[in-house]
A and B are shown apart, each in its own frame.
Chain A
Amino acid sequence: MKRFVYINDDSCRYSYCDNRISNTKYSLWNFLPKNLWEQFRRFMNQYFLLIACLQLWSRITPVSPATTWGPLIIIFIVSASKEAWDDYNRYLSDKKANERKIWLVKDGIHRQIKAQEIHVGDVVWLHENDEIPCDLVLIGTSDPQGICYVETAALDGETDLKTRIIPTISANLSVEQLGKVKGVVECPNPDNDIRRFDANMRLFLPIIDNEKCPLTINNTLLQSCYLRYTEWACGVAVYTGNETKSGMSRGAAEPKLTAADAIIDKLTIAIFMFQIVVVLVLGYFGNAWKYTQGLKQWYLMYPVEGEAPWYDFSIIPLRFELLCSIMIPISIKVTLDLAKGVYAKFIDWDEQMFDWETNTPAHSANTAISEDLGHVEYILSDKTGTLTENKMILKRCCISGTLYGNDNGDALNDVRLVNAISSNDPDVIKFLLVMALCNTVVPIKSNDDTVSYKAQSQDEEALVNAAANLNMMLISKDSSTAEICFNGSKFRYELLDILEFTSDRKRMSVVVKEGQTGKILLLSKGADEALLPLACPGQQIQKYLEAVEMYSQLGLRTLCLGWHDLKESEYKEWSKNFQEASCSLDNREFKIAEVCHSLERDLHILGFTAIEDCLQDGVPETIKLLRNAGINVWMLTGDKQNTAIQIGLLCNLITSEPNSQLLSISGKTEEDILRSLERALLIMKNTSETKDLAFVLDGWALEVILKHSKESFTRLAMLSKTAICCRMTPLQKAQLVAILKSAGYLTLAIGDGGNDVRMIQEANIGVGISGREGLQAARAADYSIGKFKFLKRLILIHGRYSYNRTAFISQYSFYKSLLICFIQILFAFLSGLSGTSLFNSISLMAYNVFYTSLPVMTIIFDKDISETTVMQYPQILLHSQAGRLLNPTTFCGWFGCSLYHALVIFFITICAYSDEKSEMQELSMVALSGCIWLQAFVVTMDTNSFTYPQILLIWGNFVAFYMINLILSAIPSLQLYTIMFHLCSQPSYWISMALTVAVGMGPVVAFRYFKNLYQPSAINILQQIEQSNGSIQTSGNLESARANLLNLLTGSRKNRDSYYHPLLSDSAESARTD
C-alpha cells in the first residue's frame, strides 16, 4: 500500500485528488435527504414520524395531524437549520482556504495559482508566515543549513516551534535546480498519524545520483501549519485535499451519551412498552364494546356486518395508539438540548473559573454532558502540569557523587558548584555539556543578542536554562551544528545523530563531534532506571541511588546524565545501521530503538539533576474536597514512583502513616507482581474502615497484570479510593480508564499534555488544562479549565446543579405528557372506547409547546442548596453520584403523581360538569385548565429557590394560558368559540379549579412534609441547616444534627459494595523489602 509521487511529472498528476479541502458534510443537493436520514436514525424521530403518518389517515386520527406534524416539523427545521448554518460556515472557510493564492514552481517558472489547484507532485514555494496548503516533503529552504521552522499549533496544539530539515539528498540543490527537479517519493497511503512519515525519496538523473534517501516526519511540512523565521521553503506535494494528515485526522467525535441520557432512553422505552400494552388493552375492549354495545346504538349507524373492510378490527387500536402517542413527549429532546446548552454557557461564563494568570476562561466544548459531571466516581489525573505548575527549575544536582544544592536548596547558587566550574572540574564540565546539548531545544536569538529557548519538554528547558546560568550557554543550533559559549569562549559541536526520546526508551541521546578535537561523544540523559543499567561496570552506583532516593523523597524530578566515548570506526558502522533502520518502511520505530540500544551502552554516569515542579495553587484543598465528595482520585504519571508518592503526599492524595497505608504492587518477576497483587487485594478486603489504603504500581507491573490477571486488578480498582500509577505510557493511562469504565464507573480524566489525550478521549468526561504543554489536551477534552483547582467548582457546582435540573426537566416532561394522556384514556371509558379525543387539536399542541415547556425551563436557575453549602458539605455529591434524583424509583413517583392528578382532574371535571353542563368543549377546557393549574403548582413546589425569571415564567405562563384561550374563544371558526368566556363567568369553574388544586396538591404537600420531617434526605437536612444559619440562633440541636449529618454522609460510603472495606496496606517500604 504505497503511493508513488513523481515530482513535477504531469503524467501522474491526476491519479490523486486535487487540493480542494472540503470539510462540509452536505452539498446543496444532498442536504435534505442526508440530513433527514441523519435525523431519522434516532428512535424517537422514527416513532414520531410513524405517528404523524398514521395521523394522515383521517379514519383513525383523533386529532388533526397538525398536532404532531407541527412540532415535528419545527424540531426538524430547528436542527436542520443549525446543521445548515454550521455547514455553510464550514463551506465559507473551505472556500477561503481553497482560493488562497499559492506560488508554484514548474520548469523553473514561478506561477501563482489557487490552493485548490495544487496536485500531487507539484513543487510548492512558500514564504515566511505562509500557511502550508497541503502536506509537503521539504526539498529546499532559504537557510544554508537546510532547516526551517514551523508552528504546528493548528495541528497538535503545541505552541513551540518545530525544526524541519531538508533530506540530505536534496541538500545541495540550487534554487534553479529546485525549479526543475525530478524524482519520486515513495510514501505510505494517507493516514492520520501526524508523528510518522515513513517514506523515502529518489531524485532522478541528470541532477544527482539515484540513491534512496529516507524521509521522516522531520522532512515534512504538514497542512495547516505555518512557516516561521524562514524566508522561503519549497516542497513536493505528497498528500493533498482531504487526504492530508490533518484532513485525515479530522472527523467528528462520536457524541457521548450521559448517564442521565441513558436513563431517559430506558424510561422512554419503558413508556413505549406501557403504551403498547394500554393500546392493546383499550383496543381489545374497544372492539368488544363495538360489537356488544356499539351496534345497538342506532345513531352511530355502524355498517352492517360484512360491509366492513378487512382491517376493521385494527381501526380502534390504531386510534388509541395515536391518542396515546403523546405519552412520549415530543419536546423532551429539544427542551433538554436547550437546557444543556444553557448549562454549558453557565460554565463558559463562570467568573470564578476564570484564570487571571493565563487569562483563560473555562470552556465546555461538549455541551451535552454537563450532568455527568455530577456523577463522577473516579478522577484520573495527570501529575505534571495538572497537579503541578509545570514550571521547572533545577534545584539540586549530584555530580560524580557530590551533592550540590543541599544547603540552600538551590544548586545554581551553590558556591561549591560555582567553584568547581571555575576550576574546570572535567566531570562538572561534561555534566553541563550534556545539559546544554542533549536536548531538542531551539535557541531563538532576539534582536538584543539575548537567547531564549523554545522547548517541547519543560525539563529540557529547565536544564538548558540552568546550564546557561552556570556559564554553559547554548547560543545557536541548527540541524548539524550547535554552538556553545563557555566562560566567554565559543565551542562548536557537530550534531551527528539524535536518538530520540520515546516513552518506551525513556531516554534520549545525541552523538556529537567536538569541533576542535574531532572526538565523537555520545551524550545521554534519561530516567534512572533506563540509564543506570547501561552504565559501564565498576562505577559507584550506590551513591547515586541514595541521591535519587533522597531527591524523590523531596518530590523532585530526577534525570540521570551520562556519556560515552565513541571510536570513529565504531560510529561509522553504527551510523550505517541507523541509516538503514531509519529507512525501513515497516516497524521503523522498533528497529530504531534496537539500533539505538546497541550504541547506548557502557555509559559513564555523570550524575543526576533534580528539578522542582511546584504544586499548583489550591491543589491539596481541591483534592481533599473531591475525596470528601466521595470521588476516588487516582494519579497517573510518567514520573518515578518516589516522586509520585511525594507529590501524592503533598497534595493530600495519600496521608502519611499510620493513618494510611500504601500497598505496593511490584516485583522482579511476573509471579512476584501477581502475588503482590493478590496480597494487596486480600488486605484491601480485610482492613478496617478507618485506614486509608492506596496502591502504587508502575507501568511494567500494569503491563504484566493486564496480561495475566485483569479480573483481580479490576476488583482491586473497584476497592481502592486512591491509586498512584507511575511510569505510565499514554496508552496505559487510557487502558486504566477503560478498566474503570468497563466496571461501570463514571470516569473523569484530567490532563494537560499530548500524552494525556488518549485517556481524555477514552474517559466519560475529559477535562483539559490549558497549560504550558500546549493546548493539545484542552482541544481533545470536553471541558477545558485553566487550573486544577477549578475542577471542584466544575464538578460540585456545575455538575451537581446540571444533574438536578436535568433530572427534574426530564421527569417533569414525562409527567405532563402522561397526565394529559391518562385523562384521554379515562375519557375513553366514557365515550364508548371509541378513541374520541377529549381535547381539541389546538389545545393539545399548545399544551406541549407553550403551556408546559416554558415554566419547566425556569428550573435552569434553580439551586436546591447554595454553592457555599455544597462546598461545605461536599459529601452531598454522593446523592447525585448514586443517581438518586433520576432513576426508575423516582420516575415511578412521577408516574404515580401524574396518574393521581389525572384521576383528580378527570373526576372533579366530570362530576362538577355533569348533567346540563356536560358539554364537550366546556368539559375539555375545564380539564385542560385543571392540568395547567396543577402543573403550575407542581413546578412551584419543586422549585427550591425562586428568582424573578422563575416567578415571571411560571405565573406569566398561567396568565398567558387564559389570554391565549380568551383570544381563541373570540374566533367563530374555532371549536373553542365563546367557551372560555362562558367558563370564566361561571363561579363553578373557579370553584372546581380551587378544588382540583386542593385535592391534587394536598396529599403531595402532606407527603412531602412528612417525609421532610420524619425521613429527610440529605438535601433536606442541608436545606434546614442553611435556613437556620440565616437566623441568629443556632440551636444545639442543629449543631448535633450537623455532626450526625456528616457521619451519615460519610458513613454511607461504606455501603458502596457489600464487600467494600477501606484500604489496608503495608507501606511502600515494607512492600519493597519482600
Chain B
Amino acid sequence: MVPSNGDTAGPSSSQDDPAATMKKRNRPQYHPFTQQQLPACKPILAPQTVVEVVYQYETSCIPGYMLDNEVAYIQNPSIDKTCTRILKVPKDMKHPIYIYYQLDKFYQNHRRYVKSRNDKQLINPKEANNTQYCKPEATEHGSPVVPCGLVAWSLFNDTYSFARGNKELRVHKRGISWRSEREHIFGKQVFPRNFQKGALIGGGTLDPGIPLSEQEDLIVWMRTAALPTFRKLYGRIQVDLRAGELITVTMQNNYNTYSFGGKKALVLSTAGVLGGKNSFLGRGYVIVGLACLLLALLLTMLCLVFPLKEEHLALQYPLPRPAR
C-alpha cells in the first residue's frame, strides 16, 4: 500500500503545454503533512516474537574417548579443541542477531571473585602498580599484572565462527560493551602486561598491543554477573537468517567448566523491546490477572453466601487483656 506521488499529479501531468505549466504552478506544494506522508510507527497488537537458538555443547564437543576424563581433555593444551556443528534456524531471524555464550554454575558473584579486581588500575596507566584486592592474581615475578585479579584472569576464551553454506557470516565484535565503560572504566592508555604469564593459566589471553578500552571481550567479562547462570554477549551478526537455513558453527572449546560440572551453551537470539526471550514477566502478569479474577469471584461468592448484615460491622471482638 505504498502511495505514489504520481497519483496526485493526475493525468494532466502527461500533457506538455503552456496550460500545463500554469497548472504546474498551481500544483500544491509538497509537504509530508499536507500529503499525509508523515513518518509513522505502526504498533501491531500481536506478540513480538523473539527467536532464540540455544546450543549446549560442553559434552558434545568432547571426543568420545575423552568423555570419562573431561578435565584432562580441557587442560591438555596439545589437543586441538576445534568443534564444528551445524545449527538449523527454526524461524526467520531479523538482524541484528546477538551471539551469546551461556555459562552455568559459574559463580561470578562469589565474594572472593567479585572483589578480585582493581578499577583504578584499569583506567589509569600510572596506577599499574596498584594491585590492591587482586590477590592471588596480583603480581608475576614481582611486577604487576595488568589487568590484575581473578576476574580478568578467568577471561572466557571459547571462540565461535559462523558460516552459511560456504559463505562466512561475519561476527561483529565492536560495540558489544557499554560505551560508558569503554570511555570511563577501561583506559585508552592502559595495555595488558604480564597477563596470563603465571604458572597457572586461567582463561583467555589479551593482545598486549591493544589498549584495554578496545578489549571488548574483557570489558564484557568484567561486568560481573549476579547469578550463577548467565549469558554474555559475544558478538552480532548483521544479516537476516531465514527459517530452515543451516548454519555451520566452528567452536574452539577452550574454557574449563568441567572441573565444576558447569554447562556451556552458544545462544543466537534476536531482541525485542524487553530484551531477549524471557517469558517471566508475561507469565507473571497473567498469573496476577488470574489471581485478581479469582479473588473477585471469591468475594462475589462470599457476598452471596454470607450476605453482609449489620452484625458484621460489630461482631464479637473481644479485647482480652494480656495475661498477667
A interface residues, Cβ below 8 angstroms from B: 62, 293-294, 296-303, 319, 718, 743-744, 827, 830-832, 834-836, 838, 878-879, 881-884, 887, 908, 910-920, 922-924, 972-973, 977-978, 982, 986-988, 991-992, 995, 998-999, 1002, 1006, 1013-1018, 1021, 1024, 1036-1038, 1040-1042, 1044-1045, 1047-1049, 1051-1053, 1055-1057
Contacts and interface: CB of A to CB of B under 8 A. Distances in A.
A1041 B102 contact: no
Given A301-B136, A999-B284, A1052 B319 contact: yes
Nearest to B137: A301
A913 B280 CA distance: 9
B276 to A, nearest CB: 5
Contacts of A973: 119
Contacts of A718: 324
Contact of A300 (B113, B261, B316): B113
Contact of B319 (A301, A831, A1055): A1055
A889 to B, nearest CB: 10
Contacts of A301: 112, 136-137, 150
Interface stretch (B14-22, B139-147, B306-314): B306-314
A915 B107 contact: no
Contact of B231 (A744, A915, A1047): A915
Contacts of B153: 299
Main secondary structure of the interface of B (DSSP, over half): loop
B248 to A, nearest CB: 24
Contact of A302 (B112, B227, B284, B288): B112
Given A919-B225, A992-B281, A1055 B320 contact: yes
A917 B275 contact: yes
B316 to A, nearest CB: 7
Contacts of A915: 100, 102, 229-231, 276, 278
B111 A319 contact: yes
A1018 B317 contact: yes
6 contacts: A299-B106, A300-B150, A831-B109, A992-B281, A1041-B314, A1048-B316
B319 A914 contact: no
Contacts of B107: 297, 300, 831-832, 834
B231 A913 contact: no
Contacts of B322: 882-883, 887
A1053 B320 CA distance: 7
Given A301-B136, A995-B285, A1045-B314, A1018 B319 contact: yes
A1024 B274 CA distance: 45
A991 B274 contact: yes
B192 interface: no
Chain A interface secondary structure, helix, strand, loop or mixed? helix
A827 B111 CA distance: 12
B319 A920 contact: no
Contacts of B203: 299
B21 to A, nearest CB: 53
A916 B230 contact: yes
A972 B185 CA distance: 7
Contacts of B316: 1048
B292 interface: yes
Given A832-B228, A912-B281, A1057-B324, 13 more contacts: A297-B107, A299-B106, A303-B136, A830-B228, A884-B319, A908-B284, A917-B278, A918-B225, A918-B231, A920-B108, A924-B226, A1021-B313, A1041-B313
Contact of B310 (A998, A1041, A1057): A1041
A914 B313 contact: no
Contacts of B235: none
Interface in B241-294: 256, 259-261, 273-276, 278, 280-281, 284-285, 288, 291-292
Contacts of B113: 299-300
In the complex, which of the residues B98, B232, B275, B308 has the most CB atoms of chain A within 10 Å of its own CB atom? B275
A811 to B, nearest CB: 17
B224 interface: yes
B154 interface: yes
Contacts of B310: 1036-1038, 1040-1041, 1044
Contacts, number: 216
A1048 B314 contact: yes
Interface of B: 98, 100, 102, 106-114, 119, 136-137, 150, 153-154, 178, 180, 184-185, 202-203, 223-233, 256, 259-261, 273-276, 278, 280-281, 284-285, 288, 291-292, 295, 308-322, 324
Contacts of B154: 298-299
B196 to A, nearest CB: 13
A882 B319 contact: yes
Given A297-B259, A919-B226, A995-B284, A834 B110 contact: yes
- Lowest 3 A-B CB distances belong to which pairs? A1044-B314, A299-B154, A1041-B313
B262 to A, nearest CB: 9
A586 to B, nearest CB: 43
Contacts of A834: 107, 110-112
Nearest to A969: B180
Contacts of A999: 284, 288
Contact of B320 (A882, A1021, A1045): A882
A1045 to B, nearest CB: 5
B230 A298 contact: no
B110 A832 contact: yes
Contacts of A1024: 313
Contacts of A986: 274-275
B220 to A, nearest CB: 10
A1016 B227 contact: no
A887 to B, nearest CB: 7
Contacts of A744: 324
B114 A882 contact: no
Contacts of A918: 225-227, 229-231
A916 B288 contact: no
Given A972-B184, A1018-B317, A1041-B313, A912 B110 contact: no
Contact of A920 (B109, B233, B312): B109
Nearest to A908: B284
A1038 B313 contact: yes
B317 A995 contact: no
Contacts of B227: 830, 910, 914, 918, 923
Nearest to B114: A836
Contacts of B284: 908, 911-912, 995, 999
B275 A916 contact: yes
B185 A977 contact: yes
Which of B225, B274, B317 has the most chain A CB atoms inside 10 A of its CB? Answer: B317
Contact of B281 (A910, A924, A995, A1044): A995
Contacts of B178: 978, 982
A1055 B321 contact: yes
Given A293-B260, A297-B259, A916 B281 contact: no
Given A910-B227, A919-B223, A1056 B317 contact: no
A916 to B, nearest CB: 4
A835 B110 CA distance: 8
B312 A1013 contact: yes
A1049 B245 CA distance: 78
A972 B108 CA distance: 22
Given A916-B276, A1002-B288, A1052-B318, A838 B281 contact: no
Contacts of B292: 1002
Interface centre among B109, B153, B180, B324 (most CB of A within 10 A): B109
A831 B281 contact: no
A916 B99 CA distance: 11
A915 B98 CA distance: 13
Contacts of A908: 284
A920 B276 CA distance: 18
A1047 B319 CA distance: 12
A917 B232 CA distance: 9
Contacts of B111: 62, 319, 831, 834-836
A302 B136 CA distance: 9
A918 B109 CA distance: 10
Nearest to A910: B227
